Structure 1
């Protein structure tokens, strides 16, 4: 009698824990300490009554981020998954909402952030060698393509690129801090307060501070790839917040010492102005190079983590299955390629509008803060609905800490809606286009 042999299914490749704690820290610092710290300190100074208030705002930003990191510490250790926030929302609210989040990440949040960072790189690269009328967009597209290729080649290439870019960024920032504190000195008359005619708004200052701290939550998307994640994720989250807070306090102290609050508040590029004051045009050119490197590092980290959500979407929804394929190089190749295509399309749109950076900020902010708020609510829901799930780390002072995190996100959502124009509306509309796609995807 013949024996019927059923062909075995090919092995399904899944994410493997190949990232060390240092790799994860480099990715998160590289993403958070991007280009904002070179722009927003002037906006914070303009809305602070004096230098002490400005420094307090940056310290509070670190404290609020630490609160959020505690919440994500519980979520990422109880539910380690490459989908990160996508997976938490799915567990708490079901597949429909998690689909819309993944759709938003793929079309608005992550791709918009990649395009924004690439535009910043393009702006500064164009100062060194201009490539015609659309120079910034050309550089931005090239950067997205090259960084994506590096990540497609394998996780080792992606993480070592990130480690080197983050190291270069931190060394550059330490130089700026050293110059500001020890070599440059502002006039005594402008070191303490803003002009008496200026209206200051501490709440608006905090909006800019918290936007600059944004991105630490991307650690959640590494939880399936970090070695011994249930033990290390909390260390990664809290450790990176501590490092980032120290960097932000020191760089702002350098700005205040070297420029003074009034000059800082009026400056469009405080880091460049500080370095020009101390070292001349050579110092200003150094800052331009540093900002370009920072933008590249943040873009690479955003590309790395963004593709993980696309992978989770393909893993869970059959019509997007092509995104859910993990390669032998331990990277989601198709998810990376689709992400790059959308980001380059957004670069083209930004180039047409001729306000690439501003367009991408408006495009991403309201949608980002909406889902960030839902992630805090998800922690509360999952504590109630799944009390028996092992939680290697639990948020202290529950539920006060999660509620404080939700209140912060709610405030930033409100502020982002108030301060964004048509770009914010476009982002929301693109998010809503996911609804008919979700309906079509149902079997």
Structure 2
């Protein structure tokens, strides 16, 4: 009698994250080093205090509107991969793949590298031997000058540590996320409170006579020739950078308890919470620093400048600690979430096969985590992550717009599909998001056509990779007798 061999049981994700965990992943992934630096950069493009605050409000509302639309999609399809799945289902596998491709090779890995370096820079305030000034290696190859410094090695160490932490289960990773997110929100809250309480600032800093005809950016030099709308859009791109990664929790939807409701609620709560944090922080900065001084702060370290004016020399050190806490938690959130996208792509046969496997004990996509960690480390050591972020700042917004448009497509495509959460204000809210976002995309391209064009090119490079993996997938299916049309 022939023995029946049992197939090994498929390892699946376990739903262990609650609403607080999910909200902390949203907020923690968004709040990094941006709020401590970006306001100064934005002030250079838009040196009008009322409009600076308006930029952060618009950015927050736009992000919240996007989160409301994503909430319905996440409630309808609470699968690992989140936005990748939404784009695949609304359009086709190619568009979903191009998003995941860009996320892995540029957006997420570039953000992880940049935030890790930001952590290292501020660690160098306390340990100079670990700063960017400590050059370890320097050489020239065919006219290309390469410099390796201690901060890059610290950045790689941070990525390795957080990757390791997240290999040992989503609960462990979420615990680290909760701890550091609460800590950085508390640090920003203390700075805001103290600034208004004992900062000896000036309320008149919030108001300034403004005329579009006489509008003139302050810095950087390339901004001086920009018109009002282009400068406004480029300044907004810096705010949107600080608001980015709000969709991270959709990637890990399968690991959330009652995801049909928890994921949408966490998206809305997290984005609104971050908007309040950002607006209050900018108000505190403006209360202490007139906007024209904010625009020319050395290295754009506006938070450190504000803290130093309040507390003296120790203030800059306190902010350095706050930024280290913030960037560490931010990197953890991004490292935790994105490998779920690569896992979903691999399960569809559109990424490295090993990335589609979970650890049998910890139920984490260990191979995807390791791949992400290696590539992020390469970018950290190469020093190219900063350029990649510039090139893809608008592509992230472009994919978000396509995803919100996908909400309309999926309502028509799958009208019978259960929707535990329906987008509030539909269709007005998602239409507003689309129109405002498209406006900024157009003017970001006008204001910085070179970076935007190169960013789009990086996305399109993914097409040959898609063709390769599609053929590999089809050949495998044919061999296994599972050919699908």
| Fold match (TM-score > 0.5) | yes
Q: TM-score, normalised by structure 2?
A: 0.84
Which of 377, 380, 386 in structure 2 is aligned with 1:347? 380
CA distance in structure 1 between the aligned counterparts of 2:101 and 2:344, rounded to whole angstroms: 11
- State TM-score, norm by structure 1: 0.92
Q: Look up the SS of the partner of 2:255 in the other structure.
A: coil
Which of the pair is proportionally richer in helix? 1
| 2-structure distance, mates of 1:69, 1:189 | 35
Structure 2 counterpart of 1:411, from 432, 439, 443: 439
2:331 is the alignment partner of 1:303: no
* Aligned residues: CA RMSD: 2.3
Query: Partner residue of 1:313?
Result: 345
The residue aligned with 1:20 is 18
Cross-structure match for 1:108:
106
- Matching residue of 2:292: 262
Once the two structures are TM-superposed, the CA of residue 423 in structure 1 deviates from its matched residue by 6.0
Correspondent of 2:74 among 76, 85, 91: 76
Q: 2:86 aligns with which of 64, 85, 88?
A: 88
Please list, as runs of the form range in 1=range in 2, the aligned pairs for 1:113-152 lying within 5 A after superposition. 113-129=111-127, 130-131=129-130, 132-133=134-135, 134-152=149-167
Deviation at 1:58, TM superposition (A): 2.0
Shift of 1:6: 2.5
Q: How far apart, CA to CA, are the structure 2 residues paired with 1:435 and 1:204?
A: 28
* Cα 1:260–1:318 shift into 2, 3 Å: closer
- Could you tell me how far apart the structure 1 residues matched to 2:451 and 2:203 are? 41
Are 2:357 and 1:325 aligned?
yes
For these two proteins, the number of residue pairs brought into alignment is 436
User: Could you tell me which residue of structure 2 aligns to residue 433 of structure 1?
Assistant: 461
2:161 is the counterpart of 1:163: no
CA distance in 2, matches of 1:427, 1:116: 17
Contact kept in structure 2, 1:112 and 1:363, CA below 8 Å: no
**Corresponding residue SS for 1:216:** coil
Q: What does the per-residue CA deviation read over 1:40-79, in whole Å, with 9 as the maximum and x for residues that have no partner?
A: 2223334446433332332222221221111011100011
5+ residue gaps, structure 2, are 136-148, 218-227, 475-485
Is residue 384 from structure 1 mapped to residue 412 from structure 2 by the alignment? yes
* Contact residue 81 and residue 344 of structure 2 kept, 8 A: yes
The runs of 5 or more residues in structure 1 that have no matched partner are none
The separation in 2 between residues aligned to 1:189 and 1:370, in whole angstroms, is 38
Distance change in 2, residues 1:409/1:349 (3 Å): farther
Q: Is the 8 A contact 2:234 2:444 kept in 1?
A: no
For residue 111 of structure 1, report the CA deviation from its aligned partner: 0.9
Asked if structure 2 preserves the Cα contact closer than 8 Å seen for 1:108 and 1:427, the reply is: no
Shift of 1:266: 2.7
Shift of 1:422: 6.2
